[in-house]
Amino acid sequence: MKRDSGRKQPSMGDVAAAVGVSKTTISRYLHGEYGYMSDETKARIETAIKELGYRPNRMAQGLKSTVSNMVGVTIADIGNPFSSQMLKGIQQELRARDIQLLVSDSNNDPAIERANIEALLDAQVDGLIVNTVGGNDAYLTAYCTGGEPKPMVMLDRFVRPMVCDCVATNNHEATVEMLDHVAARGFSHVVFVTRSDRGVSTRSIRREAVERYLAGHGASVNGASDDGGLSGEVLVYDGGIDDLRARLAAVVGERGAGRVCLFANNEESMRDVMEAMPELDGERGRIGVCAFADERWARYSGEGITCLDQQPVLMGRTVAKALLARTCGGGDAEDAILEEGAADGIVVAARNDGHLLFEVPAQLHIHASTMR
């Protein structure tokens, strides 16, 4: 029987469109990776394949098991200078091994992040590096624990409990180090300025560290110290600069003649604090500022801002090594990183079901903003 050359053979994309799922989900079905989908989705895919007459390309399926020499990265906000420095570190490690880097920006949107991951998997990357926006814990957990997923390592932010290897800052210890410095400089009150946690592990860990520190020093959060030492509060803001400016002015006004230090959670919050500061010009002599921030920028801001530099390039290099240890023959990520990273102060801070949390130490740089 002569084949009708004018009839187009249905594609994987046609099946995906008919079912209303991604091509990655169809690919997983074809490879028997049913743990990624519900029984209902599995049945709908089977029905669509029969109705459309779809025949998988066995050669293409065979290619799935080959190495692509590509790594996919999805970044929460590529416009953040901190993110670009992490990418620089990732690229350094991958370029040395002739591995290509595919980068996607999530624009701080959980839905875009999920789409990015699916698209990178469609591109047949050998592994994924995820700097999550937050709010995708269930999705990321399902990915890492279902079937035999491509290796994933989370960067800077991670799911708790861990479901894959992670590389982050030593957030708790660094926060405590900064608070010790603030107390030693004679400040009577510290205000930790941050956006809402929204499932972002870095924000919640730092906030928890502040709360525990204050409790351990006889002060309740948003209250005074029992022993006359450092008191403090957490100021969570999600409005604009005008709102932050008014709230900071109120906090400073409530402290009387006491010295107040504004501790910004990250560079974004530090910029917001600095923009709000002109309203407090009359109080500048008793107000200090510090932050988690890039020291190269912080030192040139005004007289210099005391900061915790997270070494983002080193974080990027470390996460690339962790992923390559998992993708290249299933190596030991701990040995691969600590063989060289121990000299940089990198440690395994936590373990969970074979997954490791590598912490890169933040470096405290003291400038004039806390030395008045």
At residue 276's C-alpha, the angle toward residues 225 and 206, to 5°, is: 45
Q: What pLDDT was estimated at residue 62?
A: 47
* Cα gap 310→292, rounded to integer Å: 7
- The pLDDT score that the predictor gives to residue 229 is 76
pLDDT score for 277: 81
The predicted pLDDT at position 22 comes to 86
Residue-level pLDDT at 301? 87
* pLDDT, position 331: 61
Collapsing DSSP to helix, strand or coil, 118 comes out as helix
At residue 1, the pLDDT reads 37
Topology alike, domains 70-169+312-362 and 171-310+364-370: yes
Q: Are strands 355-360 and 347-352 parallel, antiparallel or unpaired?
A: antiparallel
CATH superfamily of 70-169+312-362: Response regulator (3.40.50.2300)
* Averaged pLDDT, groups of 10, the chain, 372 residues long: 54 90 82 77 92 70 67 96 96 94 97 96 94 95 88 95 96 98 95 92 96 82 60 93 92 88 95 82 76 94 94 98 82 79 90 94 97 82
What is the domain class of 171-310+364-370 according to CATH? alpha beta
| Spatial separation of the C-alpha atoms in residues 328 and 365, rounded to whole Å | 37
The per-residue DSSP string of 186-247 comes to T-SEEEEEE---TT-HHHHHHHHHHHHHHHHTTB-BTB-BTTSS-EEEEEE--S-HHHHHHH
For residue 2, the model assigns a pLDDT of 42
CB distance 63 to 276 below 8 Å: no
* Spatial CA neighbour of 174 closest among 76, 300, 265: 265
pTM: 0.80
Residues 350-361 as b or e (16 or more Cβ within 10 Å = b): beeeebbbbbbb
Task: Tell me the C-alpha distance between 154 and 139, whole Å.
Answer: 13
- Predicted confidence at residue 227, as pLDDT, reads 54
**Phi, psi for 18 (deg, rounded to 5):** -65, -35
Residue 306 region, left (φ>0) first, then alpha (ψ -120 to 50), else beta?
beta
Domain boundaries, the chain: 12-63, 70-169+312-362, 171-310+364-370
Q: Name the CATH code of domain 12-63 (choices 1.10.240.10, 3.40.640.10, 3.30.1130.10, 1.10.260.40).
A: 1.10.260.40
CB 310 within 8 A of CB 344: no
CB 129 within 8 A of CB 155: yes
